[in-house]
């Protein structure tokens, strides 16, 4: 993957890190809209890398093979406001593939590889543009934007996250059991938070929010209030 080298290190950044299903994506989108900031969905960058690896028939267990695949194809990200981001690999629109369980699983597997994480750094940092950026992911405040003006760690109970995921899947006509969802979430959490490189941990000084019993608006309000104090 190649990046657009036009980032602006002076632009303010708000990072939102946390496990999948905590509501980071929706909160980050709403926050970016309110503040008129750009948005980085870093999970989409990892997912695009996973699709590239698949398309190149890379050996997912080999860092060298995955890296070679990333050099072969270029992903481009086209923000669509509240509709999230459209992703193209070369000329091919892969947005549909981005949200599948298989893509998430492979993204999580290649995300443990230090060289892969390093290869995706510039791409993510290139989203830092005036007037500012809201970046959501796992290591936004700890690794990618350690100088962010405000760092948030957003989480929710496993049960609540599984229920939210079940609702999303049902809307797409996909039936699954709570037991399966809880197991998938626990296994991904375990891998993300215990990996050696850039594990999912709250950044020092992060504002910690448990969204289990909060609405999206309540979470966004808390962050906007905190942002006013620091920007
Ligand atoms: O957030 P999302 O579910 O789209 O991310 C997919 C996977 O990409 C995560 O499970 C995680 O392993 C990886 N990821 C990461 N660091 C990020 C964002 C995502 O390791 N900043």
Q: Where are the domains of the chain?
A: 13-230
Q: How far is the CA of 105 from the centre of ligand 1 (A)?
A: 9
Rg (CA), the chain: 17
Query: Worst-scoring range by mean pLDDT, 2-16, 26-40, 48-62?
Result: 2-16
- Contact by Cβ (8 Å): 132, 38: yes
- Contact by Cβ (8 Å): 42, 135: yes
Tell whether the model's pLDDT for residue 1 goes beyond 70: no
Cβ(30) – ligand 1 distance below 6 Å: no
Tell whether the model's pLDDT for residue 168 goes beyond 60: yes
Beta strands in the chain (DSSP E): 13-17, 38-41, 75-79, 85-89, 92-93, 133-137, 150-155, 207-210
pLDDT bracket for residue 5 (50, 70, 90)? very low
Cβ(42) – ligand 1 distance below 6 Å: yes
123-147 mean pLDDT: 95
Q: Looking at the CA of residue 50, tell me the nearest atom of ligand 1.
A: 8
pLDDT, residue 220, reads 96
- Contact by Cβ (8 Å): 94, 84: no
pLDDT bracket for residue 3 (50, 70, 90)? very low
pLDDT, residue 18, reads 95
How far apart are alpha carbons 155 and 202 in whole angstroms?
10
Mean pLDDT of the chain: 91
63-83 mean pLDDT: 89
89-113 mean pLDDT: 92
What CATH number should be reported for the domain whose range is 13-230? Answer: 3.40.50.300
pLDDT, residue 2, reads 43
Q: Please tell me the residue having the least CA distance from ligand 1 atom 19.
A: 43
pLDDT, residue 155, reads 95
pLDDT bracket for residue 73 (50, 70, 90)? confident
Q: How far is the CA of 213 from the centre of ligand 1 (A)?
A: 24
Q: How far is the CA of 65 from the centre of ligand 1 (A)?
A: 20
pLDDT, residue 181, reads 93
Those residues with Cβ within 8 angstroms of residue 19's Cβ, 6 or more apart along the chain or in another chain? 155, 156, 161, 185, 188, 189, 192, 193, 200
How far apart are alpha carbons 18 and 10 in whole angstroms?
25
pLDDT bracket for residue 9 (50, 70, 90)? confident
Pairing of strands 85-89, 75-79: antiparallel
Residue 153 phi/psi, 5-degree rounding, is: -115, 115
pTM listed for this prediction:
0.90
Which has more pLDDT, 38 or 188? 38
Distance of CA 144 to the CA centre of its chain: 12
Query: Worst-scoring range by mean pLDDT, 5-9, 10-14, 98-102?
Result: 5-9
Cβ(21) – ligand 1 distance below 6 Å: no
Q: Which of 13, 27, 42 to mutate to test the pocket of ligand 1 (most atoms within 8 A of CB)?
A: 42
How far apart are alpha carbons 91 and 71 in whole angstroms?
16
């Amino acid at each position: 993957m190649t990046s657009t080298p036009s980032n602006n290190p002076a632009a303010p950044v708000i990072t939102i890190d946390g496990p999948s299903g905590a509501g980071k994506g929706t909160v980050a989108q709403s926050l970016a809209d309110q503040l008129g900031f750009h948005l980085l969905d870093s999970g989409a960058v990892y997912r695009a890398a996973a699709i590239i690896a698949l398309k190149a028939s890379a050996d997912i267990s080999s860092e060298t093979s995955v890296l070679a695949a990333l050099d072969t194809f270029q992903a481009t990200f086209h923000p669509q406001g509240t509709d999230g981001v459209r992703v193209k690999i070369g000329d091919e629109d892969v947005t549909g593939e981005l949200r599948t369980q298989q893509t998430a699983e492979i993204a999580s597997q290649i995300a443990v590889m230090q060289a892969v994480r390093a290869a995706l750094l510039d791409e993510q940092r290139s989203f830092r543009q005036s007037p500012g950026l809201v970046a959501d992911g796992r290591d936004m405040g700890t690794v990618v934007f350690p100088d962010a003006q405000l760092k948030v760690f957003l989480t929710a109970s496993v049960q609540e996250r599984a229920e939210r995921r079940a609702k999303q899947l049902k809307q797409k006509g996909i039936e699954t059991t709570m037991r399966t969802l809880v197991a998938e979430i626990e296994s991904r959490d375990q891998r993300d938070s215990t990996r050696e490189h850039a594990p999912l941990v709250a950044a020092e000084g992060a504002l910690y929010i448990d969204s289990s019993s909060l609405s999206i608006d309540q979470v966004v309000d808390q962050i906007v209030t905190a942002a006013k104090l620091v920007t």
